[in-house]
């Protein structure tokens, strides 16, 4: 009888690992909290830096799934324990699952922009998040102000919930800078006469083709980049938002009225309390899970038979997540053979 | 009646009395002129009686320490009150024996040496019994003090104070005094008879295997030396609090308080600290963030010995919890503030670029403050509530905001603070308003205590409570439960506890929190601390939040923008300011009811649940 692997979370990491493990001959069960598979990929319209439709990537992941894979949606793990060489898990539906190894691919949560109250999310009418903007693009809706008018000036605010001691997140979420550049271009493509300003601390265009996208935004679309962190946002009587910011390249404080403000929300760790308590897994000061070794066991936990893939161990791009999911699948196969 | 062994005691006593006289005189001399007059006026009035009563209840019986922990109270009482009774009874015994003559002060102390078996004397049995009984009383306190070193938790203290050299010498001497007295009296009894149930028993026991006739003298000498050592070490140790606290009580009852700078009163307060360590346990830096070297007991000690460390002085939330807990009633926060003022000589002020907004004529000036600009839901709610209530107001810092000055003041930069305050004050006066309302307790405390305004200053909780009381505003009760967090600056800082609860009780069901009112915890966001790390701050916030949410309320409510912002970081339930609740539940009158509901973001139970689930699975 072939050995069984339990995957927690049917996002990019979980689906990709599942495909590889099935090909290697293991029986896979995936438990997913929400009602569908694909995780946060479902919320993306187009991906950076190639602007490839997110649906294409999702389709690919689904095609790779083995028909015998058991996918349990709308379910949550309530108890999990490692017993000798097996893993026993219970679901909130009362179901029990036995497996020989478990892959944690629970991903991340979006930073709750309401916690950065000074930016006025859900208080001011014309403040939205990057996730809201992506949804508008995905649903093919018109980008308008709260009064239904076409915005003439949009500000994109970087590092909301990232690199910010005040909200308790000191780390970089890695993907927001390039998302901000991508979305600025997309806005310009929809509304060519609209002015777009990106307010940033540093632009971290670290990966292949990121810099190209940044160039394109400036040269082709005339997106303006202002180095400075927002100190405060204020709603004018007409619903526009006045932002106060210091332009740190010019060394001057400035105020600007914007028709629409987009907050680039970062990644935060999911709720790992169950894993911490029952599997005795560690989390870092950033609250993400900690792998057994940062170089050589980046997809293994310190607990026997428990593995990691994707953003549960820190912010990652989809490409990195897929690579990690495959690495995890091979690591699991190696573990189960011995 | 004399023997050479009394010298250590006698010389020690003379030194101690001389030292106290010199110190008391110099402290009183360095009081301000005004305070000296207050002191003189208070002498031989009813205040003197109040002082005497307080000295008995606090310096001798230690009533406040009893309230903290009975065992700890008993320990202090048995040592202080027991020792005093021992001295008084000894004096009385010696007087009766000597037919009313006083004699030198060492006579009653070493009475049993000079008269081990005074059978010629009328009440000798009764006195022997009484003296033994009092000795047992004191020794029980000494035994507790020994045990406290081993296990401070038994006496209700989680942490105990670390001592300086003077303390150790005095403490060691103190620990030996009464056991030595017991042994000296026992050997005398063993050698010459006398004593009562205690000393005579131990005396005959010791005599059964030890040569009492040889040993009694060295033990009397040791007893005298321990007393002498204690008296000499006392002025340089924490035991200076014993004489000084009596002076503190007299000065305080004369109406003397801490000023903005160091006076003789500060010295009296510093020397009145017994370093009992009760403040350590009340300090959240200790209980939640494992910072154990900055507490008030150490701050007062460092100021007294002139070994102040700037970082440690600034590492304090200024929440006032230790002030509340201090059994001596020392004005700790004020003393720390004085030190901060000294440590911060200030900088060149440059505020010419700051301009207040042009004043508008209105009945009420509303000042939101910097923190409310970072929590726009609060200022938005206040403005909406005012509009619904038909209040003619001017939002003073709507676009051009100037700080109230409190952060500068807390950092010890009082001159710079004054420069900012003047700009605000001018604008307020020009508006000809009849009242100033602010929703920020930090600003409230400033406007009320430091600005010297001619108009009343209200915290928004007080203002709303007033409107409700006068039927100018009505709130609709919602089916939600809440815990209210008392902000430090509003509660302990300004004594406003009732009004927020009065308002909230109209709008929802309040459940009481574990630590509330005067004992309320600090949220950890305090402006008063400029050296603590974010991680340590977060620990304090998490700990305070966990304590508040123990009863599982639907929401957490506070009335300070900084507290709200701080708790939002960690709370599992939504955090609101009182203004948001008022704005959500406001009903102007029955005609406008539907309109009011439409306009306001009403916090209904269903909405809340949605919000809670959104936090677990954000969109």
CA A201 from chain center: how many Å? 20
Q: What stretches of A25-76 adopt beta strand conformation (E)?
A: 27-31, 70-72
Q: What are phi and psi of A28, to 5 degrees?
A: -115, 135
Answer yes or no: do B534 and A118 touch at CB < 8 A.
no
Q: Domains of chain B: which residue ranges?
A: 4-30+61-236, 263-306+313-342, 364-466, 472-616
Distance CA B388, CA B600 (A): 10
For testing the chain A interface, which of B375, B395, B619 should be mutated: the one with the most A CBs within 10 Å?
B619
- Residues B161, B276: contact at Cβ < 8 Å? yes
Answer yes or no: do A33 and B373 touch at CB < 8 A.
no
Q: Which residue has the tokens 């349990």?
A: A72
Distance CA B323, CA B299 (A): 13
**H/E segment holding residue B548:** helix B534-548
Nearest-CA distance A85 → chain B (Å): 32
- Residues A315, A108: contact at Cβ < 8 Å? yes
Chain B hits for A125, CB-CB cut-off 8 Å, are none
b/e per residue B107-125 (b: at least 16 CB within 10 A): bbbbbbbbbbbbeebeebe
Sheet containing A241-247, strands listed edge to edge, beginning at the edge strand earlier in sequence: A230-235, A241-247, A252-258
- Report pLDDT digits (tens) over B200-222: 899 999 999 999 889 999 999 99
- Residues B594, A106: contact at Cβ < 8 Å? no
**CATH class of this structure's domain B263-306+313-342:** mainly alpha
Nearest to B615 among A112, A117, A234 (CB): A112
Q: What are phi and psi of B406, to 5 degrees?
A: -65, -45
* Mean local confidence (pLDDT), B508-514: 91
Length of chain B in terms of residues written: 619
Confidence of residue B58 (pLDDT cuts 50, 70, 90): confident
CATH number at B364-466:
3.40.50
Structure token digits, residue B473: 């505003």
Q: Which residue has the tokens 């007991």?
A: B297
pLDDT at residue B353 greater than cutoff 80? no
Q: What 3-state class would DSSP assign to B131?
A: helix
pLDDT computed for residue B165 by the predictor: 86
- Report pLDDT digits (tens) over A129-166: 999 999 999 999 999 999 999 999 999 999 999 999 88
Is B380 touching A (CB cutoff 8 A)? yes
- Report pLDDT digits (tens) over A218-252: 999 999 999 999 988 999 989 999 999 989 999 88
Is B357 touching A (CB cutoff 8 A)? no
Distance CA B328, CA B246 (A): 10
Nearest to A123 among B376, B569, B616 (CB): B376
Percent of residues, chain A, with pLDDT higher than 90:
92
Interface A-B: count of C-beta contacts within 8 A:
45
- Residues A335, A101: contact at Cβ < 8 Å? yes
Q: ipTM of the predicted structure?
A: 0.73
Closest-CA residue of A relative to B377 is A123
Confidence of residue A274 (pLDDT cuts 50, 70, 90): very high
For testing the chain B interface, which of A109, A114, A163 should be mutated: the one with the most B CBs within 10 Å?
A114
pLDDT computed for residue B595 by the predictor: 36
pLDDT at residue B224 greater than cutoff 50? yes
* Mean local confidence (pLDDT), B499-506: 95
Chain A hits for B535, CB-CB cut-off 8 Å, are 285
pLDDT at residue A256 greater than cutoff 60? yes
Answer yes or no: do A233 and B538 touch at CB < 8 A.
no
Is B399 touching A (CB cutoff 8 A)? yes
Is B612 touching A (CB cutoff 8 A)? no
DSSP A172: -
Chain A hits for B374, CB-CB cut-off 8 Å, are 117-118, 232
Answer yes or no: do A117 and B375 touch at CB < 8 A.
yes
Structure token digits, residue B452: 């010297």
pLDDT at residue B2 greater than cutoff 90? no
Distance CA A236, CA B393 (A): 18
Answer yes or no: do A233 and B376 touch at CB < 8 A.
yes
Chain A hits for B397, CB-CB cut-off 8 Å, are none
Is A115 touching B (CB cutoff 8 A)? yes
- Report pLDDT digits (tens) over B6-43: 999 999 999 999 999 999 999 999 999 999 999 999 98
Distance CA B220, CA A132 (A): 87
CATH number at A4-107+270-337:
3.50.50.60
pLDDT computed for residue A327 by the predictor: 97
List C-alpha distances in Å: A224 to A174, A197, B522, B592. 21, 5, 43, 47
**CATH class of this structure's domain A113-267:** alpha beta
Distance CA B585, CA B474 (A): 8
With respect to CATH, is domain B472-616 assigned 1.20.120? no
Distance CA A107, CA A315 (A): 9
Out of A11-25, A170-184, B458-472, which region has the weakest mean confidence (pLDDT)? Answer: B458-472
For testing the chain B interface, which of A134, A166, A271, A273 should be mutated: the one with the most B CBs within 10 Å?
A166
- Report pLDDT digits (tens) over A45-71: 999 999 999 999 999 999 999 999 999
- Helix, strand, coil % in chain A, rounded to nearest 5: 30, 30, 40
For β-strands A153-160 and A195-200, DSSP reports them as: parallel
Answer yes or no: do B568 and A165 touch at CB < 8 A.
no
Distance CA B191, CA B214 (A): 9
pLDDT computed for residue A232 by the predictor: 86
Nearest-CA distance B569 → chain A (Å): 6
Percent of residues, chain B, with pLDDT higher than 90:
58
Distance CA B515, CA B547 (A): 8
- Report pLDDT digits (tens) over B144-161: 988 887 777 776 676 767
Chain B hits for A33, CB-CB cut-off 8 Å, are 617
Confidence of residue B619 (pLDDT cuts 50, 70, 90): very low
Confidence of residue B471 (pLDDT cuts 50, 70, 90): confident
DSSP A53: B
Is B619 touching A (CB cutoff 8 A)? yes
Distance CA B156, CA B277 (A): 11
Residues 6 or more apart whose Cβ sits within 8 Å of residue B299:
B308, B312, B313, B316, B332, B335, B336, B339
List C-alpha distances in Å: B258 to A51, A107, B149, B409. 68, 57, 34, 16
pLDDT computed for residue B593 by the predictor: 37
- Report pLDDT digits (tens) over A73-108: 999 999 999 988 899 999 999 999 999 999 999 999
DSSP B140: H
Is A192 touching B (CB cutoff 8 A)? no
Distance CA B287, CA B281 (A): 7
pLDDT computed for residue B347 by the predictor: 65
Is A244 touching B (CB cutoff 8 A)? no
- Residues B509, B469: contact at Cβ < 8 Å? no
Residues 6 or more apart whose Cβ sits within 8 Å of residue B294:
B285, B312, B315, B316
**Same-fold call for B263-306+313-342 versus B364-466:** no
Q: Domains of chain A: which residue ranges?
A: 4-107+270-337, 113-267
Out of A125-129, A272-276, B151-155, B592-596, which region has the weakest mean confidence (pLDDT)? Answer: B592-596
């Amino acid at each position: 009888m072939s050995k069984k692997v339990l995957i927690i979370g049917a996002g990019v990491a979980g689906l990709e690992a599942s495909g590889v493990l099935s090909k290697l001959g293991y029986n896979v069960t995936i438990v997913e909290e929400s009602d569908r598979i694909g995780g946060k990929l479902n919320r993306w319209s187009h991906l950076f830096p190639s602007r490839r439709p997110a649906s294409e990537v999702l389709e690919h992941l689904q095609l790779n799934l083995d028909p015998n894979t058991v996918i349990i949606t709308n379910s949550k793990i309530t108890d999990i324990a490692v017993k000798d060489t097996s893993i026993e898990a219970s679901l909130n539906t009362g179901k029990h699952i036995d497996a020989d190894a478990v892959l944690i691919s629970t991903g991340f949560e979006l930073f709750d922009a309401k916690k950065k109250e000074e930016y006025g999310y859900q208080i001011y009418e014309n403040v939205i998040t990057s996730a809201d903007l992506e949804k508008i693009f995905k649903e093919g809706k018109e980008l308008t102000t709260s009064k239904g008018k076409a915005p003439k000036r949009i500000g994109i605010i970087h590092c909301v919930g990232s690199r910010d001691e005040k909200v308790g997140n000191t780390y970089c979420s890695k993907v927001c800078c390039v998302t901000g550049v991508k979305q600025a271009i997309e806005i310009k493509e929809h509304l060519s006469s609209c002015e777009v300003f990106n307010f940033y601390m540093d632009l971290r265009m670290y990966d292949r083709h990121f810099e190209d996208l940044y160039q394109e935004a400036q040269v082709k679309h005339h997106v303006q980049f202002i180095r400075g962190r927002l100190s405060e946002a204020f709603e004018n009587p007409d619903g526009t938002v006045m932002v106060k910011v210091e332009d740190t390249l010019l060394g001057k404080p400035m105020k600007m009225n914007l028709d629409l403000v987009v907050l680039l929300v970062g990644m935060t760790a999911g709720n790992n309390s169950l894993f911490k308590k029952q599997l005795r897994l560690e989390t870092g000061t950033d609250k993400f899970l900690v792998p057994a070794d940062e170089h050589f066991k980046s997809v293994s936990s310190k607990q026997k038979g428990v593995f990691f893939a994707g953003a549960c161990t820190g912010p990652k791009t989809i490409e990195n997540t897929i690579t990690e999911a495959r690495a995890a699948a091979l690591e699991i196969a190696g573990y189960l053979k011995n | 009646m004399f023997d050479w062994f009394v010298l250590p005691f006698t010389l020690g006593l003379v030194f101690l009395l001389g030292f106290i006289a010199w110190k008391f005189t110099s402290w009183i001399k360095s009081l301000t002129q005004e305070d000296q007059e207050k002191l003189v006026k208070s002498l031989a009035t009813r205040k003197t009686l109040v002082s005497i009563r307080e000295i008995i209840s606090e310096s001798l019986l230690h009533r406040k320490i009893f309230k903290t922990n009975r065992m700890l109270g008993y320990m202090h009482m048995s040592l202080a009150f027991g020792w005093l009774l021992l001295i008084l009874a000894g004096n009385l015994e010696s007087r009766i024996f000597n037919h009313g003559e006083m004699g030198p002060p060492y006579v009653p102390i070493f009475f049993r040496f000079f008269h081990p078996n005074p059978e010629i004397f009328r009440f000798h049995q009764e006195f022997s019994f009484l003296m033994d009984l009092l000795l047992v009383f004191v020794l029980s306190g000494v035994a507790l003090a020994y045990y406290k070193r081993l296990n401070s938790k038994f006496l209700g203290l989680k942490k105990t104070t670390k001592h300086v050299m003077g303390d150790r010498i005095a403490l060691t001497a103190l620990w030996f005094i009464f056991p030595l007295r017991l042994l000296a009296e026992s050997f005398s009894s063993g050698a010459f008879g006398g004593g009562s149930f205690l000393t005579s028993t131990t005396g005959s026991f010791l005599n059964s295997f030890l040569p009492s006739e040889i040993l009694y003298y060295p033990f009397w000498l040791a007893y005298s030396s321990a007393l002498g050592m204690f008296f000499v070490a006392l002025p340089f140790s924490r035991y200076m609090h014993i004489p000084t606290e009596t002076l503190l009580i007299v000065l305080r009852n004369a109406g003397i308080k801490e000023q903005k700078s160091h006076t003789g009163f500060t010295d009296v307060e510093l020397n009145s600290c017994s370093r009992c360590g009760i403040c350590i346990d009340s300090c959240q830096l200790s209980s939640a963030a494992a910072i154990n070297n900055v507490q008030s007991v150490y701050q007062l000690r460092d100021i007294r010995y002139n070994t102040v460390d700037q970082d440690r002085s600034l590492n304090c939330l200024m929440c006032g919890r230790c002030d509340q807990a201090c059994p001596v009633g020392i004005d700790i926060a004020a003393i720390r503030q004085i030190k901060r003022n000294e440590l911060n000589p200030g900088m060149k002020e440059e505020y010419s670029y700051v301009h207040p907004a042009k004043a508008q004529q209105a009945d009420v000036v509303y000042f939101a403050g910097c923190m409310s600009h970072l929590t726009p839901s609060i200022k938005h709610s206040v403005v909406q509530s005012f509009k619904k209530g038909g209040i003619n107001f001017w939002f003073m810092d709507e676009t051009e905001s100037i700080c109230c000055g409190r952060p500068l003041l807390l950092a010890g930069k009082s001159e710079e603070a004054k420069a900012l305050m003047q700009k605000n004050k001018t604008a307020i006066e020009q508006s000809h308003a009849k009242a100033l309302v602010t929703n920020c307790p930090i600003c409230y405390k400033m406007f009320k205590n430091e600005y010297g305004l001619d108009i009343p200053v209200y915290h928004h909780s007080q203002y709303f409570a007033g409107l409700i009381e006068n039927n100018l505003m009505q709130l609709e009760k919602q089916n939600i439960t809440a815990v209210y967090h008392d902000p430090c600056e509003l509660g302990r800082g300004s004594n406003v506890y009732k009004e927020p609860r009065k308002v909230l009780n109209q709008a929802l069901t309040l459940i009481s929190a574990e630590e509330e009112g005067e004992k309320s915890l600090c949220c950890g966001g305090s402006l008063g601390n400029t050296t603590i790390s974010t991680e340590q701050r977060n620990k304090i916030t998490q700990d305070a939040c966990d304590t508040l949410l123990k009863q599982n309320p639907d929401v957490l409510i506070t009335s300070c923008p900084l507290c709200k912002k701080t708790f939002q970081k960690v709370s599992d339930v939504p955090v609101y300011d009182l203004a948001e609740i008022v704005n959500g539940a406001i009903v102007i009158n029955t005609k406008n009811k539907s309109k009011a509901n439409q306009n306001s973001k009403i916090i209904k139970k269903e909405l809340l649940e949605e919000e809670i689930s959104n936090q677990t699975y954000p969109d």
